[in-house]
Amino acid sequence: MSSQFINSIKLIEELLGEKFSVNENIYSINLKNSKTKTDIHIEVQMEQEEKFLVSVYTNNCHLQLQNCANIIVSNMLEEFIFTSETEDTISGMIISKQGDCALYSNVKKSVLSSDFSELNSEKLLSAVALSITESAG
């Protein structure tokens, strides 16, 4: 397991104020939002070639992002982002400290550096949400 992965897990734990439970190569944690009375369960599973799989379970959905290679933790935004990239696209699963979760998949990297005023509202959401990945990369 890479030290970068372990360091990212520690940063997430610091942000959340909670520890992941570890069972073999699966790191899991529950987030509860008392205001909305919702909770999510997050699992991060190490795979080969320093990649990992992220699964999020809620009461009404299951999200999964495969072939992740990077985790970005933002204390200012109180969220963390798991990313998976190809040469031309990026996918990101964004999870907030409050337990909100968003998944943007196969976003063209060129959208992240485009003029946001020229994007339709749906592409603008993904561009703004994933733009943090450009400064962290």
- Cα(9)–Cα(53) distance, integer angstroms: 14
- Cα(87)–Cα(99) distance, integer angstroms: 30
What's the pLDDT at 126? 67
Residue 93: is it exposed, middle or buried by C-beta count within 10 angstroms (0-12/13-18/19+)?
buried
Alpha helices (runs of H) in the chain, residue ranges in sequence order: 3-16, 109-112, 121-130, 132-136
Which regions in the chain score pLDDT beneath 50? 137
Question: Pairing state of beta strands 79-85 and 89-96?
Answer: antiparallel
